[in-house]
Structures are given as C-alpha cells and as structure tokens.
Structure 1
Amino acid sequence: MKDCWHAQVKSVCQDRASRSMGMMSKVVMLGDLYVGKTCLINRFCKNMFDRDYKATIGVDFEIEKFELSGVPYSLQIWDTAGQEKFKCIASAYYRGAQVIITVFDLADIKTLDHTRQWLEEAMKENDPGSCFVFLVGTKRDLLSSAECRKMERDAIKIANEMQAEFWSVSAKTGENVQDLFFRVAALAFEDAILKEVEGVTAPTVIGPGGLISKFFFFFFFFFFFFFLRNGQ
C-alpha cells in the first residue's frame, strides 16, 4: 500500500482520523463472460478460488475495508455480467465509478479486443477524466512465459490507447491480485481526499449511481426483475 501521500492528503487524513470519519469508493469491473472477474474479486476479498463458479447474473458487489493513514476506507467492488442480455442492467451501475477495471483473459485474444468496447460503454455513464482506468489480464498461470510476454506486449499497446494502467494477474495462484487492488485503493483514496479539499464531492446516491447497502441492492435487483418479467 502507498506510504507517501500528497501533503494535503496527510492533513485531511489526520482530521478525519481524529473524528473517525470513513470513506468509500466505487470500483466497477467489466469484461467478457468467463474472463475471471468474479474469481478475481473472490481471490482478493475472500482469498479463495473456485474453478466452478457460476456466471454473474446482472450485477453483484463486494465491500473490502481498509485503514489508510488512520482513516477507515472501503472499496465497493461491482462485479458486472459479461452476457449481452444483461448489459442494459449492468450499464446502470457504471455511473459514479471512481475506478473502472476492464478485464480480459490472457489466453483469449478476442477478450482483449473487446475491452475497448467495454470501456466505451462505461464512459458513457461517467465524465471524461473522472475515473482511473485499469486494464487487467487474468489467467496468466495458463500461459508459458513466452506466451505471457507476447500477450502482455499487445495488452500494453491497448492500455496506452485507453490511458489505462495494465496489470497481469492470476486469480488461481493469487499472483499480483493483492497488489492490484492495493494500487486501486491507494489511487482512489488519494483522489477522493484531494477532491474533498477542492470542494468537489460526489453525491451519495441510493441506487445504481451510488454506494448502496447489500440489502438494498438485492431488494432493488429482484424488484426490477419482477416487474421486467411481469411486464412482458
């Protein structure tokens, strides 16, 4: 985790820590079906790997808690479905993201090509320059060293086009997963503090655009599906 913060960040952190004021940032993970988004989240949040997990239906999220410079801090990590039929639902949850993570399978070049479209969809719901963007290649454990290097070179080119930070990880072995999310947390935390100093604060919205409780999320999600199905 980051040790050296901006001077203004240190000052705000001291004030927040003294008043036990916490913060939360929204992270959205996008990518094709079966690229390993859920496995990546489970490895980080639960330190587990399930080869036989079920594909995400619509959207889901996990909350991971930290303490940064004495300030309670949480990442709300949204796991969106890769299926085309759920895009209209998942896209509503892209709004208000501080971090967008586009995920692809290092063993499948097509999923890398599709990351541009995923990012484009997410940015329709967010202001330009308002989010940190990461391009993450998963399943590096399935490739030889030579194959991995070749895919990483291709991915870095696309990451540069996206103005994204590239990471190569394995949810199965855990390689680079914790470092990735610690990097995400550090950038989002510092940015949130600096925006607070500048008087730019993101509103807390109950619903797809904001940070919500797990209970409210599932209530909203199943309520939505009930009316969708009965309206057909």
Structure 2
Amino acid sequence: MARRGEEEYDYLFKIVLIGDSGVGKSNLLSRFTRNEFSLESKSTIGVEFATRTLQVEGRIIKAQIWDTAGQERYRAITSAYYRGALGAILVYDVTKPTTFENISRWLKELRDHADSNIVILLIGNKTDLKHLQAVASEDAQSYAEKESLSFIETSALDAINVEEAFQMILAEIYRTISKKTLSSSEETGSGPNAGIKEGKTIQVSGAEANTTKQCGST
C-alpha cells in the first residue's frame, strides 16, 4: 500500500487505559506512541491522550489512546471519557496483587459506562521485575478467560510486548468493526464522539494531535 499523508487514515479508534495509579499506564502510552519511558513519570491528572497511526490488517488505523487517572478522586471525571471508546485496556502491576484484585472493580465501572460491544484487553505490566512478580500469569489468564478478555503481560521499561498488546486490541477492534455495516455511524451522527463510536474516519486538524491533553474537562 502506498504511503499516505500524516493525517490520512481509514479508521480512528478510541481506546481507554484504565487501572490503579502507578501500574504504568502512562509509560505504556508513551512507549507505544513515542517509544519513550520515564522513570520520573508522575501520576496522570484527569485525562490526557496521545495518538499513533499504523497499519492493521492492511488498513491505516489512527489509534487515539486515552490515559485515565487511576486516583480515586478522578473517577467521576474520567467516567465520561469512556463514551465513544471502541477498546479498553485494563492494566495491573504484576508485583502488586492489590492492583490485580481491583481489576474487577475497574471492569465493572467500564461495563457500566462503556458500550456493551467494547473490546477489552487485560495487561499485566512490569514483567521486568520478574523476581518480584506476585500475580501468577496463570491466575490472570484464568480471570481473563472467565471474563472474556484478551490477556498479555508487558514491560513498558524494556518495551516487551507493548507493540504486540496494542496491535492485538487494534486488530480485534478492526475485526469487530468490519463485521458491521457503517450505516449505524450515520444514524448516531450527533455529539462529539459520534464519528468515533463506530470507527468512522474523523479528520483531525493539525499534525501534532499527539500532544493534546484534556485535564478534567468534559
């Protein structure tokens, strides 16, 4: 396929990253979109997003990844950002069992606020700390199967399986979208996220969309 312009793409997929504070959501986002990792990463305040355009199954997909704050006090703010999301990544820290135990709470919130057909991926992050791993891979895999989630373990620090994780969820979203007719996107063509909801192409002005931040606004 011929190389396309910076802002040309076939589909725009909105994906939300959710999970407890400190599990590495922001570093997963920066590793995937900018191939960067920061040991000094601070907790996300409110919500921010970054984008990356890539090819998935022969189509040009613009992935718009929203990083939601894990702190309890921001949950009321971030719940509005589930609207229009086609995919969600639930993240826990493999060295902290509590973050895995809280996945069920995040999953419930997600299912309460998001579209019922949303594609969900469970990620166990920080596998570079293998000697400290406290959540067994088998337990996470079993939970994922029970809840009909995809599952993968990653290390944002070592860039292990990060690309694969995002490719996995984007491909699954694309397969879900391609099974539907796009007529429903015209029927629901109201509101700021209407075009995103069914994967319809949205033209974004400006080439630096990946620097856009939304902090606590609705």
The TM tier, using the shorter chain, reads 0.7 to 0.9
Q: Determine whether 1:126 maps to 2:111.
A: no
Question: 155, 170, 180: which one pairs with 1:170?
Answer: 155
Partner of 2:65: 77
**CA shift for structure 1 position 55:** 0.8
1:94 is matched with 82
In the alignment, structure 1 residue 141 sits paired with structure 2 residue 141: no
Give the superposition deviation at 1:190.
2.3
**Shift, 1:154, TM fit:** 1.6
CA radius of gyration, larger in: 1
Cα 1:40/1:69, change in 2 over 3 Å: closer
Alignment RMSD, CA only? 2.8
Which structure 1 segments of 5+ residues have no match? 1-19, 225-232
Whether 2:47 is the aligned partner of 1:59: answer yes
**Quick one: distance in 2 between partners of 1:90 and 1:67?**
29
Residue-pair matches, total: 200
Matches within 5 A, 1:1-232: 22-68=10-56, 70-128=58-116, 130-144=117-131, 148=133, 151-196=136-181, 199-201=183-185, 203=189, 205-206=191-192, 218=213, 221=215
In the aligned structure 2, how far is the partner of 1:81 from the partner of 1:48? Answer: 19
Per-residue deviation, residues 120-151 of structure 1 (Å, max 9, x unmatched): 101111243x011111000011123xx65962
User: How many percent of aligned residue pairs carry the same amino acid?
Assistant: 31
Higher relative contact order (CA 8 A, sep 6+): 2
Deviation at 1:193, TM superposition (A): 2.3
**Structure 2: gaps spanning 5 or more residues:** 1-7
User: Normalising by structure 1, what TM-score?
Assistant: 0.76
Residue deviations 1:32-71 (CA, integer Å, cap 9, x gap): 0000000011111111110101111011111110134553
CA contact (8 A) 2:95 2:134 kept: no
Higher helix residue share: 1
TM-score when scaled to structure 2? 0.81
Q: Secondary structure at the match of 1:182?
A: helix
